Structures are given as C-alpha cells and as structure tokens.
Structure 1
C-alpha cells in the first residue's frame, strides 16, 4: 500500500498568495520566518529563516458543514512547488507525534479513528485507517494545537 501525502491544492495556494481571503474572510497576514516551526502546507517543507510566509485560517474541505474544521496554517508567501512525493513529508519529521483522523466519503469524521500517534508509527497507522472500507482519507494534524498538516490517501 503506497501512501500519498496531499498538500494544499495549487488553486488554493495561488488564490491566497494573490490576495484572496482566508476561510474567515480575512486577508492572510504576512510574516518573516525565524526558521523554526513554520511548516508550509503547500510544499510540506518548513519556511526557511528570513523568508516571507502567510498566516491564515484554512478549511481543508469543499463545503461548510459540522465536521469542516477551520484553523490556522502557514504558507510560503512566494510560490513553491506542491509536495508530490510518497515519502513522509519534511514537515512531519519535526514533531514527536501527530493526530491522525479518518474521514468518510461524506467528509465526516469516522468515529473511533482519531488518535495521537508517534511519528515513527504515522505511516503504519495511516495504512491501518485507510484499509477500512469506511475511511476515504486521513487528516494529519498537530498533536499539540490541532492545526491541519496534510491529507493522506492511498496512491
């Protein structure tokens, strides 16, 4: 089973960098990275020290509904290539653990799938969840702050 780590879509990144509004209707805030803990949700790499990034509210769902969580994320202010690899993304190697949660085709949480997982077990747990017939995809979130990191599907 090959896991596909899916970043923020190109269209979303382009729109937000071009002055588009975030999930709460606000302009993204521009900041300068200190090089620590600023994971870009498009390239799935950390924003280097001295580089500009955006802080914004993001909802990684197609529609607004009860399970469509919105939260803060970071995005390179300048264009960066979307992550398109099958290895664990660089931003998922900077913490000891992450929250994984399975979602059905209806974009609703599949109860019993959520839990904090050590980074070493992240691929294994994602495979376990994606082997279930009721789980269409998995979200990876920060274990400390619940911030959305990326989506995982079967390639």
Structure 2
C-alpha cells in the first residue's frame, strides 16, 4: 500500500484565513516566525524566519463527538499549501510523534496510538491503514499532542 501525508484541506485553510476565527470562534492570533519550530499545517514546512503566521485552535475533523480533539496549530499567514505526498513532511523534525488510527466515523481506534520514532512513522501508518477498521491516521506532537498532518492511503 502506498500512503500519503495530507495537509489541512485547502477549503479549511481558506475559511480560517478569510474569517480570522478559530474552532472556538476566537480571533486568530498573528505572530512573526523566529524561524525555529513553527510548523505550518498548510504547506507542511517550517514557517521561515520573519514571516507572519497564525495561531489558532483547530479540530481536524468533519463532525464532533467525544473523540474530536481540538488543539493549537500554526499556519503561515500566506502560503500556497501543499499537495498530498508520500514523502515525510518537512515539519516532522522532532525525534518522535504520536501516531494514531481513527475509524470512518472519526473515533480513535483503541490500541493504535503510540509514540513512534519519526523514521518509523510511514511504516507504522501503512500498517494501521491496512486494517479494515482504520480510515485515516493522524500524526500529533508527542510533547504537546498538537495535530500535524493526516495520513491516508494514496488514491
């Protein structure tokens, strides 16, 4: 199976940038990147030093249920985004991440979440996605639990 790492969907990014509001209806914050560790969930790159970025609460899910996690994310204020890719995203610079499988109804599939060394993320995500009960896999910060990107089977 071939997998792809996905940024947040373009329509979600456009809605955030246009409305300037987050998942809680709060106004997004704008800051200037120091070039160190500001991972954009649109272009899946570290926001360059001196560039403005947005700080906001986001839920990377279509619906809401008890498993619908909300957390802080960063977005370049103005980037062209990224297409899904089989290559590990540039934003994954830490030694490890939480990798967790979700069902088609956006619920955590128990027993799938684990802290995974960065070099093993693709292999673990591929193993999870081979299961019939896993619809997608999310990669989250191992230290802060922030959403970074989604992994799906390649189309």
Q: TM > 0.5 between the two? A: yes
Contact 2:138–2:148 at 8 Å: present in 1 too? yes
Contact 2:43–2:79 at 8 Å: present in 1 too? no
SS of equivalent residue, structure 1 residue 18: helix
Distance 1:80 1:19 in 2: 18
Deviation at 1:12, TM superposition (A): 1.1
Distance 1:39 1:134 in 2: 30
Aligned residues: 154
Query: What is the TM-score of this pair, normalised by structure 2?
Result: 0.96
> What residue is the counterpart of 1:61 in the other structure?
61
Runs of 4+ off more than 3 Å: none
> What residue is the counterpart of 2:40 in the other structure?
40
Deviation at 1:19, TM superposition (A): 2.9
Query: What is the TM-score of this pair, normalised by structure 1?
Result: 0.96
> What residue is the counterpart of 1:86 in the other structure?
86
Deviation at 1:120, TM superposition (A): 1.0
Distance 2:135 2:145 in 1: 20
Distance 1:58 1:104 in 2: 20
Unaligned runs of 5+ in 2: none
Alignment of 1:13-24 (within 5 A): 13-24=13-24
Does structure 1 residue 121 correspond to structure 2 residue 120? yes
Deviation by residue 1:68-120 (Cα, 9 ceiling, x = unmatched): 0000000011132223322111111x110000000001110000000000011
Contact 1:44–1:83 at 8 Å: present in 2 too? no
How large is the RMSD of aligned CA atoms in angstroms?
Answer: 0.9
SS of equivalent residue, structure 1 residue 90: coil
User: Mean alpha-carbon deviation: is it higher for 95-104 or for 17-26?
Assistant: 17-26
Contact 2:97–2:118 at 8 Å: present in 1 too? yes
